[in-house]
Structure 1
């Protein structure tokens, strides 16, 4: 039963808010994928979209409680890997004041067992898992999200 369900989903796509967002498109046996960003043949690497413009040093408001703050500056060329984290060069507690940057939250120094660490917790080290730059980009889908009253 489960195999049939998985097969059916891979053929018809995944539905979100009543719209199919991904659908297998296989004209002539070539193979392809249709998404909100357009149609792409799976065997061909599609050129990257142009980079979106990022507002420079703009204060961005939160839309919901516990929202990871958006990054108000360009991060192009920043390395965030096992060996380096460019974000921490400005935002760690050690350097934030001298760099004029916002300190990272104390929650980033707590591990899964709620122990407070001397350095950033490994689960919070890869900043770009949660934090993204604010870009002036056209939304892929219509959105009528409204912020909670307490954040207005």
Structure 2
């Protein structure tokens, strides 16, 4: 008797679960933030808009935005092509902004002659400019100080 009740209960649970899946699919489906199907490519302009001067920052200590494409830049454990222009030894000759001194300090605050390992991967903080659509609404207001 117990086995029969268990079998009926599990069959009922399976039927209700299946009916729930069918109902969810018929109710309009899942919509993405991209307003496109999951298998479609989200097209973003391939051109990068480099404005004159630097982009204004919205808050203190905000990492600057990269005003050029970094698609072909190699940044891995051995190579960082950003440093070919932005390292303090060559930035003046290249007309590129120099990295701040914080990039040449270790975790204990000691000055280094080379970029610290904790600052090696530039694109973990700095992102290139792109005219990409916003995925969600944003009501952020920049600081006045």
Counterpart of 1:139 (choices 126, 134, 139) is 134
User: Which SS does the other structure have where 2:93 is aligned?
Assistant: helix
Q: Taking structure 1 as reference, are residues 84 and 48 closer, same or farther at Cα in structure 2, changes over 3 Å only? A: farther
Cα distance per residue 1:50-88 (max 9 Å; x no partner): 343311254211000110000011112111111211100
Alignment of 1:55-134 (within 5 A): 55-56=49-50, 58=52, 59-134=54-129
Q: Taking structure 1 as reference, are residues 48 and 87 closer, same or farther at Cα in structure 2, changes over 3 Å only? A: farther
Higher helix share: 2
Counterpart of 1:49 (choices 42, 45, 48) is 42
Higher strand share: 1
2:33 matched to which residue of 1?
A: 36
* Deviation of the 1:39 alpha carbon: 5.0
Structure 2 segments unaligned to the other structure (5+ residues): 1-23
8 Å contact from structure 1 (residues 57, 73) kept in 2: no
Q: Taking structure 1 as reference, are residues 34 and 88 closer, same or farther at Cα in structure 2, changes over 3 Å only? A: farther
> For 1:76 and 1:49, how far apart are their aligned partners in 2?
17
Superposition CA RMSD, Å? 2.3
TM-score by length of 1: 0.68
8 Å contact from structure 1 (residues 56, 74) kept in 2: no
Greater relative contact order structure (CA < 8 Å, 6+ sep)? 2
Task: Kindly tell me the number of residue pairs found equivalent between the two proteins.
Answer: 117
Cα distance per residue 1:90-109 (max 9 Å; x no partner): 00001100000000000001
Flag the structure with larger Rg: 2
TM-score by length of 2: 0.71
